[in-house]
């Protein structure tokens, strides 16, 4: 029999080897994604890209970036005036066709999805970006007074990716080509107190994407999950841009280059670095390690509201 110390030494060597491999793999993945990504030809997937939540922030920037690559853009959002303005801006900048669909994703009826389906029916859709989403004030779950707001987050964050993916997949499978980008969030990776519903809904988007990806990858369809951290958009009160908080155009300019390279991406170098560092924290400490910073963020947001 081996002495106990010899067994422990062997275990240590194996563990060190596996940790080193894990570290090298992540460094390579990081470098490949953000420093030397392979170019992806979006036009080979189809003539049209559909983007939800497209009037500002991440959605608008995805629409602009895809138009820059020669794709016609179908914009879906709630405010028809803003949609028309963004569509005009895209057409003027990139000389592509645009289409707009004004819908309220807080609507609980299936009619909105029937209307969307009818308007998408004759488009050669190559790319779908499921970006539309909603969040809630940072507060204890039991302190949320409006059950309508709870329902709205579920309706807006979960139903659109499911329903729109279901609409476009059959034709993508038929032509064996297509890209579906689902915008989740870095909070989907670990428990986050005070934004429990938002966190859970974004975790759903992540797992939905990963599950669908396995179903359709043999058809040549790319399904990507994007997990951003803080970005300077109205979702987080247009926070002042910093190294860890890029502007929306900076973030999407980086994230869109990972399509075809990464099936699950944090989209931006500093967000990926943050995620990798969090992964080093033992799982048992995750919930408690997020409480203090989340309380701090909550206090700042409450102060902003009082101004």
Examine the domain organization and report whether 298 and 166 are in the same domain: yes
Examine the domain organization and report whether 79 and 198 are in the same domain: yes
What total of structural domains would you count in the chain?
A: 2
User: Is-catalytic flag, 198?
Assistant: yes
Strand order of the sheet with strand 98-102? 98-102, 72-77, 48-52, 125-130, 178-183, 221-226, 264-265
Examine the domain organization and report whether 115 and 264 are in the same domain: yes
In a domain, 283, yes or no: no
Examine the domain organization and report whether 7 and 56 are in the same domain: no
pLDDT digits (tens, 9 = 90+) for 103-146: 999 998 889 999 999 999 999 999 999 999 988 777 778 888 88
Examine the domain organization and report whether 152 and 239 are in the same domain: yes
In a domain, 179, yes or no: yes
Q: What distance in Å separates the CA atoms of residue 62 and residue 248, rounded to the nearest whole number? A: 9
Instruction: For residues 225-250, give the mean pLDDT.
Output: 75
In a domain, 282, yes or no: no
Q: What distance in Å separates the CA atoms of residue 274 and residue 257, rounded to the nearest whole number? A: 19
pLDDT digits (tens, 9 = 90+) for 158-177: 999 999 999 999 999 999 99
Look at 227 and 13; give whichever has higher pLDDT.
227
* CATH number reported for the structural domain that contains residue 121 in this entry: 3.40.50.720
In a domain, 99, yes or no: yes
Domain with 124 in it:
42-277+289-306
Examine the domain organization and report whether 4 and 106 are in the same domain: no
Instruction: For residues 205-233, give the mean pLDDT.
Output: 94
Examine the domain organization and report whether 159 and 248 are in the same domain: yes
Examine the domain organization and report whether 187 and 217 are in the same domain: yes
Q: Cβ(255)–Cβ(59) under 8 Å?
A: no
Examine the domain organization and report whether 16 and 117 are in the same domain: no
Examine the domain organization and report whether 107 and 219 are in the same domain: yes
Q: Residues 11, 30, 113, 198: which is the catalytic one?
A: 198
Examine the domain organization and report whether 22 and 62 are in the same domain: no
pLDDT digits (tens, 9 = 90+) for 14-23: 878 777 776 6
Examine the domain organization and report whether 175 and 204 are in the same domain: yes
In a domain, 17, yes or no: yes
């Amino acid at each position: 029999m081996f002495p106990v110390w010899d067994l422990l030494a062997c275990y240590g060597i194996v563990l060190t080897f596996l940790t080193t491999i894990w570290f090298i793999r992540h460094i390579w993945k990081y470098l490949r994604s953000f420093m030397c990504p392979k170019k992806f030809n979006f036009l080979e997937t189809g003539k049209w890209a559909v983007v939800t939540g497209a009037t500002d922030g991440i959605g608008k920037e995805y629409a602009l970036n895809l138009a820059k690559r020669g794709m016609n853009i179908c914009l879906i959002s709630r405010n028809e005036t803003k949609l028309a303005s963004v569509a005009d801006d895209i057409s003027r900048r990139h000389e592509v066709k645009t289409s707009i669909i004004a819908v309220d994703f807080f609507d609980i009826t299936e009619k909105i999805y029937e209307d969307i389906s009818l308007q998408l029916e004759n488009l050669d859709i190559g790319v779908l970006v499921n970006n539309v989403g909603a969040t809630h004030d940072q507060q204890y779950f039991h302190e949320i007074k409006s059950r309508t707001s709870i329902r709205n987050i579920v309706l807006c964050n979960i139903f659109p990716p499911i329903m729109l993916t279901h609409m476009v997949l059959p034709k993508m499978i038929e032509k064996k080509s297509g890209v579906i980008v689902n915008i989740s969030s870095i909070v989907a990776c670990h428990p986050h107190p005070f934004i429990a519903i938002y966190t859970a809904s974004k975790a759903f988007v992540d797992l939905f994407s990963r599950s669908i990806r396995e179903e359709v990858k043999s058809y040549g369809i790319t399904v990507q999950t994007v997990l951003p951290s803080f970005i300077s958009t109205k979702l987080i009160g247009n926070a002042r841009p910093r190294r860890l908080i890029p502007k929306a155009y900076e973030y999407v300019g980086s994230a869109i280059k990972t399509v075809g390279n990464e099936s699950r991406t944090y989209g931006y170098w500093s967000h990926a670095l943050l995620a990798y560092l969090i992964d080093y924290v033992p799982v048992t400490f995750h919930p408690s390690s997020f409480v203090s910073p989340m309380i701090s963020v909550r206090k700042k947001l409450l102060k902003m509201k009082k101004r």
